Amino acid sequence: MKAVMKVDKNPGIKVMNTDKPKPGPRDVLVRIKSTAYCGSDLHLYKWDGQAEKWNSPLPRILGHEFCGDVVEVGGNVSSIKTGDKVAGETHIPCEQCIMCRTGRAHICENMKIFGVHVPDGSFAEFAVIPETIAFKLPSDTPYDIGALYEPCGVAMHAVQRAEPEPGDVAVVLGCGPIGIYVQQIMKAIGSDVIATDIKKFRIDHAKRVGAAREVIDASEGNTVEKVKNVIGQRGADIVFEAAGAGETVKQSLDMVAKAGKVVLFGASPDNPTLDTTTYIVYKEIDVRGLTGRYMFSTWDRVERFVSRGLVDLESVVTHKFPLDKAEEGFQLLLKGEASKVILNP
């Protein structure tokens, strides 16, 4: 089968033929119909410090956000059958640690990441996944929508962690695909939403498809002041840090209201120096981190939002390519000229 592979630690990828994988007794084999690029695929493409840290085995097939049809199931699989349309949870839990045994498998202590530790990802015609991470979709789900449940799940999880109250004022720092989903979800639950970003492409994209009342250009400084000019000096009930930068973590503590909540889920390469006393102690705020998605209550909520039209998953997609043109997708993302890019094998 055809696959987008990382063969060595040099920058770049190769589209090449490789063996079709075989499912183990508790695995399912999926014919991939749609698969989307995530930031981690870019790290692996460039093979930067982050990739080095993951130490993923090479050669490997990239990709982990996907949707497809189950074409074969292992002998001990009970919940999935051939013909099911599935998306996949990226985090593979061990099912035995204290986290897995107490309802928090998504932060398993022995977590494996599909497409990172497991060498065969989803940028291919077929992929094998453990039954435990398969999420069965309604049969009429378009494949490109199904492939976006996973990134939308991060946004939904952020909202779940925020425990919003009716009528909250929310600021979303960052207008990448997940930031935009957070904006759409918060708008759908009645919040007043303001967004910021520093890149023109993302600001323009958010203005078109995001759900913020205002999208503020944060590239020229005074971001906290600009946001407070829009929402009032009290600050925001909830600030979502979706940009993944030390600077935006700092801003989030500053622009949140007393007794407010800051939700962190962007992976920041730099560590911020924070005035925890002024902003966390005296303002009595909550800072809540999150990663991944609850298995599978977050997925369930994404399904509800998609089926009722409360979120528009496809709105963040700016480009679609066949596997052969995977390189083009990487180039657009590296240049910051795309939001979400999809491959249709």
Alpha-carbon dihedral angle through residues 268, 274, 276, 278, given to the nearest 10 degrees? -130
**Residue 254's Cα: distance from chain center in Å?**
25
Kind and range of the H or E element at 188? helix 177-188
The 8-class DSSP code of residue 144 comes to H
Residue (55 or 273) nearer to a second copy, CB: 273
Q: How far is the CB of 45 from a second copy (least distance, A)?
A: 21
CB of 292 to a second copy, least distance (A): 8
For binding to a second copy (CB under 8 A), which residues are involved?
Answer: 25-26, 76, 78-79, 95-96, 98-99, 101-104, 107, 109, 156, 159-160, 164-167, 185, 188-190, 192, 234, 244, 246, 249, 258-259, 264-268, 271-277, 279-291, 294-297, 300-301, 304-305, 308, 310
CB of residue 70 to a second copy, shortest distance in Å: 15
The DSSP output letter for 256 is E
Report the distance separating Cα 5 and Cα 11, nearest Å: 12
Q: Dihedrals φ, ψ of 2, to 5°?
A: -85, 145
CB of residue 10 to a second copy, shortest distance in Å: 27
- Rounded distance, CA 311 to CA 329, Å? 24
Closer by beta carbon to a second copy, 123 or else 265: 265
The nearer residue to a second copy, 12 or 190, going by C-beta atoms, is 190
Please tell me whether residue 66 adopts helix, strand or coil conformation. Answer: strand
In whole angstroms, the minimum distance from the beta carbon of 3 to a second copy comes to 29
Nearer to a second copy, 58 or 99 (CB): 99
Q: How far apart are CA 265 and CA 6, in angstroms?
A: 27
Which of 268, 344 has the CB closer to a second copy? 268
